[in-house]
Structure formats: structure tokens, C-alpha cells
Amino acid sequence: MAATIPGWFDGLMALRNHGMRLLGMKHLGSLRAVQAVEDPQPGQRLGIFTLQSLHDDVIVLEDDDRHLRVQLALQWQGDVLEVTTVVHTHNAFGRAYMLPVAPVHRLIVPHLLEKQVQLYR
């Protein structure tokens, strides 16, 4: 799925990384930078997320810092892939950060899922 990230979104991530670095925040890297891992284990970094759990039908990823914690779950329900994102903000900076980010998340996740459907038709 990471390989289908559109260039415009990767550009937004680069802009985010540059701006956040100026504010002393961590550089997340690119969503496209996920490497193929033969046997991923909980605690292992997969792109911008850390693998929390992996089962036959569900994967849970997370990124956590002092401002917010993002959890991403992908779960198969029969032939349907469900994606759930939860963001826990820890402080005012985390809430302010999410103001422009949340609308982009609402655009990118359906886009990525549609790309996956097109690839596997």
C-alpha cells in the first residue's frame, strides 16, 4: 500500500518534516520508504510507524511522541479491508498540529484503498 502513495502526498510529508524539524520535532521520513520485511516483529519500525501487533487478519501500527500518538489498524473482514486511524493528542501543540492534518487523512486513506482495489482487480 505504501508503494502507491501519490507524489503530492509525499511532497506534503517532506514539507511537514522540514517544518517540524525547525520546531524541534522528529523527522518521520517518507510513507513510500517502507521496506519489504520478510518476518516483521512487534516493536520493529515499518516506515513511519512501529509495528504493535500482527495477526493473520489484522495489523496494528503506531507512532508516539510527546504531542500525539497515532494508531493505525488494518483488518480484513472477509473480502473487506477496514482501516481505522485513532489520534490521541497529548497537548495543545498536538491538537493544533492535527487541524491541517486531519482533513488530509480523510483524503489519503480512501485514495490508497481505491488504489489497492484497482491493483487487485
What span, in angstroms and rounded, lies between the C-alpha atoms of 91 and 113?
A: 31
What span, in angstroms and rounded, lies between the C-alpha atoms of 43 and 74?
A: 17
**Residue ranges of the domains in the chain?**
2-34+43-119
pLDDT in tens, 61-90: 999 988 899 999 989 888 888 889 999 999
Instruction: Give me the phi and psi of 56, to 5 degrees please.
Output: -55, -35
The verdict on pTM exceeding 0.95 is: no
pLDDT in tens, 5-36: 778 878 888 888 888 888 777 778 777 777 67
Query: Which residues lie below 8 Å from residue 12, measured CB to CB, with a gap of 6+?
Result: 104
